[in-house]
């Protein structure tokens, strides 16, 4: 039997196929976060092809009553392989921490350790998460949905997905799309917010000159050892204070630790950054895309998520900038507000964009290392914010 009749009965699937195709175009041609957007877009197309059994079914469909659920074999048998993958890898919350392990193995905490003060701006930039949470509740979202919407402001894809799986799995598709779309639009959003909030004089603040005028108190005499001790001590502290952030940050710090140990465990670093991370990305993208069936996606809430996600992003960037401006009022050593603009997670794109803006105003003002400090602390900050949301709402 062909699927023509089903398409005539549910023409909305054609719109979803169009959306999938547009996202594929953006990923392939425009290179907007292609590693994730292409699998997500293809997942959307697969999920909306009638009769293919590739769309993810809601949790109620696999419930047997009294909090008992079908096992994975039954899910695969009744709903197909995409549901098997979704309930085994996504619903369990497995893939985002695995991706975080790879992110950790690719992250260098060195710039942050050399400029520890700048970590505070990674905290200030989380304000967008909680402000949009508040705004979303006033727009009629439930607290759990609002939490998932707000976390887009953290500008961290795996964190947004992990939080949504725990709080509002029915919104996973639109939230993942919004999070990754805005991350790819960082080169547009940061300059836009900066233009509105930062003066030309402030953009010319030269961080290296400030370092010469006010040199750091301590020079690190054994960076390798500091980098090894840092992830071990930090995960213990954070896990005690915000246990719900442990799956994400635990894997991030583990990945970072194996990277810093060096060639002794080089194979583990390779596995974390290539095989595991790439496999996780493929399955994450396809299954998240497969949650976006016409019935789930074509709802007014999706529009709210698109608008709310943008606001969360912009407010987070503004929060970091305002924090730097406040700091500059009270401190002799001035900081370029662009460093605050990178307090959201999107590493390293946010830092690269901020550095380019600084260079446009002063060709000798290289601020990349300073931006990376707040940028990396933003990864920790957004995971902690997600932990807080999950503690109160899950």
Partner 1 sequence: MSGEYALAFKLLGVGMITVFLILFLVVVFGNVIIRLVNKYFPEAEKVLPSNTGEGISRKKLAAITAAVNIATKGKGKITNIEKL
Q: Rounded to the nearest 5°, which phi and psi values hold at 380?
A: -65, -45
| Beta carbon of residue 385, minimum distance to partner 1 (angstroms, whole number) | 5
| Beta carbon of residue 133, minimum distance to partner 1 (angstroms, whole number) | 6
Residue from 22, 28, 81, 134 touching partner 1 (CB under 8 A): that is: 134
| Beta carbon of residue 371, minimum distance to partner 1 (angstroms, whole number) | 16
CA angle 356, 335, 355 (to 5 degrees): 10
Mask 181-220, x = binds partner 1 (CB under 8 A)? -------------------------------------xxx
> For 287, what's the count of Cα atoms within 13 Å in the CB-facing half-sphere?
29
Q: Is residue 381 close enough to count as binding partner 1 by CB under 8 A? A: yes
Q: Is residue 146 close enough to count as binding partner 1 by CB under 8 A? A: yes
Q: Is residue 251 close enough to count as binding partner 1 by CB under 8 A? A: no
Q: Is residue 129 close enough to count as binding partner 1 by CB under 8 A? A: yes
Identity of the residue, 139 or 197, whose beta carbon is nearer to partner 1 in the bound complex? 139
CA distance 187 to 32: 11
- Which residues in 318-377 contact partner 1 (CB under 8 A)? 377
Q: Is residue 315 close enough to count as binding partner 1 by CB under 8 A? A: no
Paired strand residues for 63: 69
> For 337, what's the count of Cα atoms within 13 Å in the CB-facing half-sphere?
24
Please name the residue ranges forming H helices in 168-299: 172-184, 186-197, 200-203, 207-213, 223-241, 246-261, 266-271, 277-290, 294-297
Residue from 194, 242, 318, 357 touching partner 1 (CB under 8 A): that is: 242
Give the number of other Cβ atoms within 10 Å of residue 64's Cβ: 10
- Total residues contacting partner 1 (rule CB under 8 A)? 49
What does the DSSP assignment read for 305-341?
HHHHHHHHHHHHHHHHHHHHHHHHHH-SS---HHHHH
Identity of the residue, 112 or 175, whose beta carbon is nearer to partner 1 in the bound complex? 112
Binding region for partner 1 (CB under 8 A) = 112-113, 116-117, 119-120, 122-124, 126-127, 129-131, 133-134, 137-138, 143, 146-147, 218-222, 224-226, 229-230, 233-234, 237-238, 241-242, 262-264, 266, 377, 380-381, 384-385, 388-389, 392
């Amino acid at each position: 039997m062909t699927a023509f009749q089903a398409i005539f009965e549910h023409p909305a699937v054609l719109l979803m196929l169009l959306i999938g195709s547009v996202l594929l175009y953006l990923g392939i041609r425009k290179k907007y976060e292609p590693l994730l957007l292409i699998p997500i877009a293809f997942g959307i197309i697969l999920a909306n092809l009638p009769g293919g059994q590739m769309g993810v079914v809601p949790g109620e469909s696999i419930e047997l009553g009294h909090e008992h659920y079908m096992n994975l074999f039954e899910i695969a048998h009744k709903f197909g392989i995409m549901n098997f993958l979704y309930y085994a890898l996504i619903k369990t919350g497995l893939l985002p921490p695995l991706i975080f392990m790879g992110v950790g193995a690719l992250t260098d905490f060195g710039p942050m350790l050399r400029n520890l003060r700048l970590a505070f701006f990674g905290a200030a930039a989380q304000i967008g998460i909680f402000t949009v949470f508040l705004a979303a509740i006033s727009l009629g979202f439930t607290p759990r949905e609002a939490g998932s919407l707000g976390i887009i402001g953290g500008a961290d894809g795996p964190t947004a997905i992990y939080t949504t799986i725990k709080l509002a799995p029915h919104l996973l598709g639109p939230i993942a799309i919004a999070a990754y779309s805005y991350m790819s639009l960082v080169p547009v959003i940061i300059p836009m917010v900066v233009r509105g909030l930062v003066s030309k004089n402030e953009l010319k603040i030269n961080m290296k000159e400030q370092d010469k005028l006010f040199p750091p108190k301590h020079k690190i005499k054994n960076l390798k050892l500091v980098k090894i001790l840092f992830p071990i001590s930090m995960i213990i502290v954070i896990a005690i204070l915000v246990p719900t952030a442990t799956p994400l940050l635990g894997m991030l710090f583990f990945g970072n630790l194996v990277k810093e140990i060096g060639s002794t465990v080089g194979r583990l670093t390779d596995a974390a950054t290539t095989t595991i991370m790439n496999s996780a990305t493929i399955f994450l993208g396809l299954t998240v895309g497969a949650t976006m069936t016409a019935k789930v996606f074509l709802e007014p809430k999706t529009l709210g998520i698109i608008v709310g996600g943008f606001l969360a992003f912009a407010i987070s960037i503004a929060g970091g900038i305002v924090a730097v401006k406040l700091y500059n009022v009270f401190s002799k050593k001035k900081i370029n507000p662009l460093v605050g603009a990178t307090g959201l997670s999107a590493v390293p794109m946010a830092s690269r964009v901020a550095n380019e803006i600084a260079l446009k105003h002063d060709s000798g003002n290289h601020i990349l290392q300073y931006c990376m400090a707040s940028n990396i602390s933003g990864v920790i900050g957004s995971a902690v914010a997600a932990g807080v949301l999950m503690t109160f709402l899950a």
